[in-house]
Amino acid sequence: MRDNRVSHGLLRVQVAIAVLPLLTMTACASARLSTTPNKSDATAHVPPSESYGKLPLYFEANRGQTDEQVRFLARGSRSTIFLTPSEAVLAFTDREQPAKGRSQGARFGSEAGGQVIRTVLRMTLIGANPEPAVVGTEELPGKANYFIGSDPANWRTDVPTYAKVRYKDVYPGIDLIYYGNQRQLEYDFVVSPGADPTRIRLGFQGADKLEVDAQSDLVVHTATGVSRHRKPVIYQEVDGAHREIAGGYVLEGARRVGFRVAAYDARRPLIIDPALFYSTYLGGSAVDHASQIAVDGSGNAYVTGVAASTDFPTTAGAAQTAFAGPFADAFVTKFDPTGSVVYSTYLGGSDNDNGFGIAIDAAGNAYITGQTNSGTFPTTAGALRTTLGSNGMAFVTKLSPTGSALMYSTYLGGSGGDTGFGIAVDVAGNAYVTGTTESTDFPTTPGAFQPFNPAGGFRSFVAKLNPLGTGLLYATYLGGTGTDRAFSIAVDTTGNAYVTGDTTSTDFPTTPGTVQPVYPGIGGHMHAFVIQLNALGSAPVYSTYLGGGGGNDQGLGVAVDGGGNAYVVGQAGSSDFPTTPGAFQLALRGAADGFVTKLNSSGSALIYSTYLGGSDVDSVNGIAVDAAGNAYLTGNTASNDFPTTAGAFPAGNTAAKAFVTKLGPTGSSLVYSTYLGGSGEEEGNGIAIDSLPNPNAYVVGITNSTDFPTTAGAFQTTFGGLEDAFVAQIIDVTLLPGRFSARVTGGGTLNVVGGIANFHFIIQREADTGALSGRLQYVNHASGARVQSLTYTSLTIVGNTATFDGDCTLNGTPGCHFTVNVSDNGEPGTNDTFTISYPAPDGGTLRSGNILIRQ
């Protein structure tokens, strides 16, 4: 029975179809790429072609260029959608993949061979109004022209194009809107108060089978492959808040589907909705793992890890396109803000090589550390050390912004075996590296805090390299007489290094007045440590244990905020691990839980400390912190009751899963928390955030799930081998309650030197001050370059208008300028208008669009 509480506001059902314009279909994943491997290198792979699929999806009005039944049409590289009054017709083509003899490179996009297959899929509204009003909305400045044949009577010119097509009253009180988003077709059903969403029925002709998969997506199987209708997002705008309603697809026959919509409780608002902006596999046919990720100021993500696949996807012109070692190489891959690969390269020699840590400087150089056993690991002339010792060594490599050259590359270590696990970079380009060493001759420097290995065996080290990689500014051992292992490092603005790891040393060098200067419990247990080392590497600012007395505790990740407070994460097996009153989780729930601890700048007190886990084994492996003090966390959990929040992604199964959690600034509540994975096993290893006012999280790890949740148009949507890396960007959509709460989104086109730019603009009005912050993103196709311009500011509202003035960058050249005027018509819940003007050199301007402001 329909609950009349939905009449409090418009109900909206959002669905994305992963089919246009690139046709990301399971059976023909190679259709995503249009280039072929380098002929001179059988194992080198080229990046996806960006010539298709990046232009905005737009709808042409039918002015005689197609069948008269069609009202609007949209064209993709291999597909066309026709909108008639009663149905949407999707016609697409692909080449059948050759059955035998394919090269490894063909997997990444060879178009050669295979028979052309054409498929037509019709989506019909069952029981709907047969003649609804069908209108284009948000007209675009671009026009379509058809000059076919020599007779001008058959030409069609100045055909209008639109961002959206709206069907009015397809069912009583229900409108249907088609539009494009992130290179895919989407549609919304907008249900007016009093209307019944359960009347909506979709029928599919041309489909072999329909199914609802583990991610609650509708999968439509056709002769060419599958089109995927993403799980519907069902929500209301109620009193200025975006509130989600449970629901999904319901199969009602072999080729018919409806929607299930739960009753809505208006007393329970949903404020946070994590969503995948992009999510992709990254790997070849063997075992490939992602260890760590870093993000630059433009939203580019840099990933490192280990690749055992000889067909790991590399790019033409990268520093090392061919697999070098018989076992595994390190790799570095850069993604642009849309999730497309900018460059991808192996990094290794003739033996085993692993990438464990990565950092980025302001120029886009990537700094990588790890471990190598290769005597032929690529080093550079004049680097600190260019020959391998008698055992494996750490390495430090600085890779150019294009991934095509080694700025420097060096071994780091002594004769006993060394591994670099964590790396950070300061504003001067100095690299700070931490890890473990068994060497008694690790290259320490005069005046270092611990110039000698206290007792041999496993010891931690911290080293600071100059910007050229030619020398050590300092290098020191770190530890006692037990076993000490450092895993993560962060650096503040004054050059102090913060290091965490674990130790069994009862004489680990701590400092008086810290939270735990004395080894907790009995000897033999492993406990976390946290040390802040001064800028000279000569002494600790503070050093402390962190753990309980009854189990093993490990520090696995560290971050530092602007106030010098250190945030430490890891795994706690102690039931008496130190927690603080009011923290999110005060008690150990499983055999081992993750933990999150925030120390003050002197290390003398816990600002907060909490467990994070369920009834099985959990670990927090990575952390990033934003300017507001929110902690972004990833790791792995075997708990089917790991703490999640409303709107979380499904667990997939009860095996080990990755998770992504955002912990609030006080450590007392979860902003959001979700599983991330498919039906196999996952592990989240690294996390980073971008520099937006409300940051997005970027997560990497390992998966063996063939159904890991990838996004339409992602770089690699199919599982590559035995185990793959994964890379995912999670958007944190925050809707603030209160009088001034607002989330404003709009889209449109921009004329830039004869090209078309796709842009997305978001404005958020703060709850108390009425200030606005904004973001502008666009892609310039005049030169084929992908650009993301970000501007952060606070806007003052004068009357009903806010003006946003800010500098931005176009194709790498600063100096462009734009203004946003927001006009509030004073009617809550109605569409207001915005105008974005862009006085570019050619005088191009952005059009007006619609936004929604609530007061």
Asked, for residue 46, whether it belongs to a domain, the answer is no
What is the pLDDT at residue 449? 97
Q: Among residues 674, 707, 734, which one ends one of the domains? A: 734
pLDDT reading at 504 higher than 90 = yes
Which of the residue ranges 161-170, 606-615, 776-785 would you say has the lowest mean pLDDT?
776-785
Work out the average pLDDT over 680-706: 91
Neighbours of 469 (CB within 10 A): 25
Rounded to 5 degrees, what angle do the CA atoms 332, 336, 337 make? 135
Domain at 818, CATH number: 2.40.160
Domain that holds residue 761: 742-852
Residue 222 lies in a domain: yes
108 φ, ψ to 5°?
-100, 25
**Residue closest to 183 by CA, chosen among 79, 301, 66, 274:** 79
Do 766 and 723 lie in one domain? The reply is: no
What pLDDT score does 653 carry? 61
Closest CA relative to residue 668, chosen from 609, 740, 601, 593 = 609
Whether residue 98 is predicted with pLDDT greater than 50 in this model: the reply is no
Lowest average pLDDT, out of 223-227, 375-379, 788-792, goes to: 788-792
Contacts for 376 with CB less than 8 Å, ≥ 6 apart: 324, 349, 350, 351
3-state secondary structure of 275: strand
Instruction: Express each pLDDT in 242-295 by its tens digit.
Output: 566 777 788 887 788 887 777 643 333 222 334 567 889 999 999 999 999 999
Residue 322 near residue 104, CB atoms below 8 Å: no
Mean pLDDT on 25-43:
24
| Structural domain contains residue 303 | yes
CA atoms lying within 13 Å on the CB side of residue 635: 32
212 shares a domain with 357:
no
To 10 degrees, the CA torsion angle through 398, 399, 400, 404? 150
Specify the pLDDT at position 275: 57
Specify burial of residue 77 (Cβ count, 10 A radius: 0-12, 13-18, 19+).
Answer: middle
User: Does residue 833 surpass a pLDDT of 80?
Assistant: no
pLDDT value at residue 281:
95
pLDDT for res 239: 52
Q: Final residue of a domain: which of 734, 764, 797?
A: 734
Three-state helix/strand/coil letters over 510-523: CCCCCCCCCCCCCC
On whether both 165 and 296 belong to a single domain, the answer is: no
Confidence of residue 627 (pLDDT cuts 50, 70, 90): very high
Q: Which contiguous run of DSSP H or E holds residue 658?
A: strand 657-663
Q: Is 394 strand, coil or helix?
A: strand
* pLDDT, average across residues 152-156: 74
Query: Is residue 319 located within the same domain as residue 412?
Result: yes
Residue at a domain's end among 219, 251, 271: 271
Does pLDDT of 129 surpass 80?
yes
CB 180 within 8 A of CB 161: no
Q: What residues are paired with 156 via a beta bridge?
A: 146
Q: How far apart are CA 284 and CA 720, in angstroms?
A: 5
Question: Which amino acid is residue 695, in one-letter code?
Answer: P
The least confident of 156-170, 304-318, 596-610, 805-819 is 805-819
Q: Are 638 and 656 in contact (CB under 8 A)?
A: yes
**How do beta strands 174-181 and 156-171 pair?**
antiparallel
Q: What is the pLDDT of residues 670-685, one digit of tens each?
A: 888 989 998 899 999 9
Strands of 527-533's sheet in order across: 484-491, 497-503, 527-533, 540-546
42: in domain:
no
CB distance 390 to 414 below 8 Å: no
Whether 747 and 730 map to the same domain: the answer is no
Q: What is the CATH number of the domain that holds 583?
A: 2.130.10.10
Q: pLDDT-derived band of residue 409, with 50, 70 and 90 as boundaries?
A: very high
Across the strands, what pairs with 528?
502, 546
Q: Which residue has the higher pLDDT, 355 or 117?
A: 355
Residue 86 has a pLDDT of 85
Name the residue with higher pLDDT: 797 or 344. Answer: 344
Tell me whether residue 41 is in a domain: no
Burial of 510 (0-12, 13-18, 19+ CB in 10 A): buried
49 belongs to a structural domain: no
- Rounded CA separation 484/507 (Å): 11
Domain match, 378 and 407 both: yes
Same-domain pairing of 304 and 191: no
How many Å apart are CA 316 and CA 40, to the nearest integer?
A: 11
- Do both 661 and 807 map to the same domain? no
Tell whether 560 is covered by a domain. Answer: yes
Beta strand 329-335 pairing with 301-307: antiparallel
| 710 within some domain | yes
10 Å CB burial of residue 511 (0-12, 13-18, 19+) is middle
Exposed, middle or buried by CB within 10 Å (0-12, 13-18, 19+), for 843?
A: exposed
* Measured CA distances, 349 to 31, 291, 372, 378 (Å): 33, 19, 8, 7
Mean pLDDT of the chain: 75
What would the mean pLDDT of 212-238 be, rounded to a whole number?
74
- Confidence band (pLDDT; 50, 70, 90) for 197? confident
Q: Where are the beta strands (DSSP E) in 64-183?
A: 72-75, 79-83, 87-95, 116-125, 133-146, 156-171, 174-181
Number of domains in the chain: 3
